[in-house]
Amino acid sequence: MKVDILTLFPNMFFSPFQESILGKAIQKGLIEIRITNIRDFSLDKHQVVDDTPYGGGQGMVMKVEPISRAIEWARSEDSSAWTIYLTPQGRPFDQEKARDLSSRSHLIVLCGRYEGVDERVREMFIDEEISIGDYVLTGGELAAMVMIDAVSRLLPGVLGSDQSAEDDSFTNALLEYPQYTRPFDFMGRCVPEVLLSGNHAAISLWRRKEALRRTSVRRPDLLAKAKLTRKDEELLEGIRQGGDGI
Ligand code: 4HQ
Q: Which of 118-132, 148-162, 164-178, 205-219 has the lowest mean pLDDT?
A: 164-178
3-state secondary structure string across 150-211: HHHCCCCCCCCCCCCCCCCCCCCCCCCCCCCCCCCEECCEECCHHHHCCCHHHHHHHHHHHH
Q: What is the pTM of this model?
A: 0.94
The Å distance, Cα 6 to ligand 1 centre, comes to 14
Q: Using pLDDT thresholds of 50, 70 and 90, give the confidence band for residue 246.
A: very low
Residue type, 89: Q
Pocket of ligand 1 (CB under 6 A): 86-88, 112, 116, 131-133, 135-137, 139-140, 143
| Strand order across the beta sheet in which 128-131 lies | 32-37, 2-7, 106-110, 82-92, 128-131
Q: What is the pLDDT of residues 156-182, one digit of tens each?
A: 999 987 777 765 666 678 999 999 999
Q: Using pLDDT thresholds of 50, 70 and 90, give the confidence band for residue 242.
A: confident
> Taking a C-beta distance cutoff of 8 angstroms, is the pair 11, 40 a contact?
no
- Best residue among 131, 134, 138, 146 to mutate for probing ligand 1's pocket (most ligand atoms within 8 Å of CB) is 131
Is 88 among the catalytic positions?
yes
Instruction: From the candidates 100, 168, 176, 232, give the one annotated as an active-site residue.
Output: 168
Q: What is the pLDDT of residues 34-53, one digit of tens each?
A: 999 999 999 999 999 999 99
Burial class (CB in 10 A: 0-12, 13-18, 19+), 230: exposed
Which protein residue has the closest C-alpha to ligand 1 atom 2? 131
Q: What is the pLDDT of residues 60-80, one digit of tens each?
A: 999 999 999 999 999 997 889
The values of phi and psi at residue 107, to 5°, are -110, 140
pLDDT at 90 over 90: yes
Q: Residue 234 contacts by C-beta under 8 Å, 6 or more apart in sequence? A: none
Which protein residue has the closest C-alpha to ligand 1 atom 7? 140
**Three-state secondary-structure class, residue 81:** coil
Q: Comparing C-alpha atoms, which of 39, 19, 23 is closest to residue 31?
A: 23
What does the pLDDT read at residue 165? Answer: 72
What does the pLDDT read at residue 244? Answer: 57
* Angstrom distance (rounded) from CA 8 to CA 110: 10
